[in-house]
């Protein structure tokens, strides 16, 4: 049986599950088998809310700590999240197509992403009512990557996958009351991080470092020299009382924990308040 024939059969079963709790599993199984993905997640990004996992391949270890960390705070730095919710890019993307140069050297990659054990990742970013969806396909075997043939298949079948997912989540993506501003508050904290102690340029550069941009790429984006980037970063680290990217990432995550996300208010203020210290 050809991969497309098998996919068609599985897709038919998924379509029969539209509007039922069985749809996410059926849909993910169909797409995952098509490209022999070893790890599959379906993550919903609702406007103004924290992401929710609609489907995730069970891990043999049963360890969910990395995923929980992602859902609480780390998602703000995820290239797929930012592509869908900030830049409104939709379609089929390998991680390397979205991640900035230097992403694998970023603290986000080292402390969270690499712990997932993925050797390659491809995401289908889909707009849905009230938000967007990432159908994330991963390879976990060492050296295993998605072939160009697999990527071509996904791109050709994207419209029908998109239509099915949009139909199922036509109402599920609506905001849920009191949590509706949480994501917005966290984004505000990211934008204001360091503003109470850093210059605008220093703040801009530390934010780009957090997102995984290399020194060279930051210099290109800001039209300044790499030496100027390094100097601003050195001054920013000194003001923040840190000495490495690892400490910057840790400080940012701590600040998010204490911040209430007031527009324009540096989350470091809440972190260093007497209440937080106690």
Spell out the domains of the chain, with CATH numbers in brackets.
Answer: 3-168 (3.30.450.40), 181-277 (1.10.10.10)
Reported residue count of the chain is 278
Quick one: which H or E segment has residue 137? strand 131-139
Q: 167 and 234 in contact (C-beta within 8 Å)? A: no
**Structure confidence by residue, pLDDT tens digits, 26-41:** 999 999 999 999 999 9
Rounded to whole angstroms, the Cα distance separating 209 from 214 reads 7
Provide the CB-side half-sphere exposure for 215 (13 A, CA): 11
**Structure confidence by residue, pLDDT tens digits, 67-112:** 777 777 788 889 999 999 999 999 999 998 999 888 888 888 887 7
Name which of 39, 31, 38, 41 is nearest 10 in CA terms: 31
Alpha helices in 19-117 (DSSP H): 23-34, 65-72, 79-85, 95-98, 107-111
**Structure confidence by residue, pLDDT tens digits, 187-211:** 888 889 999 999 999 999 999 999 8
Q: How many helices and strands, by DSSP H and E, does the chain display?
A: 14, 5
The label of the residue with tokens 């997102």 reads 211
């Amino acid at each position: 049986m050809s991969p497309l024939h098998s996919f068609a059969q599985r897709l038919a079963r998924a379509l029969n599950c539209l509007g039922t709790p069985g749809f996410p599993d059926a849909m993910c199984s169909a797409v995952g088998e098509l490209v022999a993905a070893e790890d599959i997640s379906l993550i919903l990004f609702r406007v103004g809310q924290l992401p929710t996992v609609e489907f995730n391949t069970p891990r043999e270890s049963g360890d969910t700590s990395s995923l929980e960390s992602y859902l609480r705070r780390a998602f703000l730095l995820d290239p797929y999240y930012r592509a869908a919710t900030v830049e409104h890019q939709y379609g089929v993307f390998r991680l390397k197509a979205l991640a900035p140069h230097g992403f694998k050297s970023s603290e986000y990659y080292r402390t969270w992403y690499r712990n997932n054990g993925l050797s390659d990742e491809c995401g289908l970013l889909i707009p849905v009512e009230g938000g967007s969806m990432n159908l994330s396909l991963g390879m976990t075997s060492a050296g295993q990557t998605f072939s160009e043939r697999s990527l071509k298949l996904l791109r050709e079948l994207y419209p029908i996958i998109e239509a099915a997912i949009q139909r199922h989540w036509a109402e599920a993506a609506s905001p849920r009351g009191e949590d509706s501003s949480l994501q917005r508050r966290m984004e505000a904290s990211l934008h204001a991080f360091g503003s109470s102690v850093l210059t605008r340029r220093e703040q801009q550069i530390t934010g780009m470092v957090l997102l995984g941009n290399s020194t060279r790429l930051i210099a290109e984006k800001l039209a300044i020299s790499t030496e100027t980037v390094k100097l601003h970063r050195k001054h920013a680290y000194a003001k923040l009382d840190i000495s490495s990217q690892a400490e910057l990432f840790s400080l940012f995550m701590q600040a998010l924990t204490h911040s209430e996300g007031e527009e324009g208010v540096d989350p470091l203020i809440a972190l260093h308040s007497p209440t937080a210290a106690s």
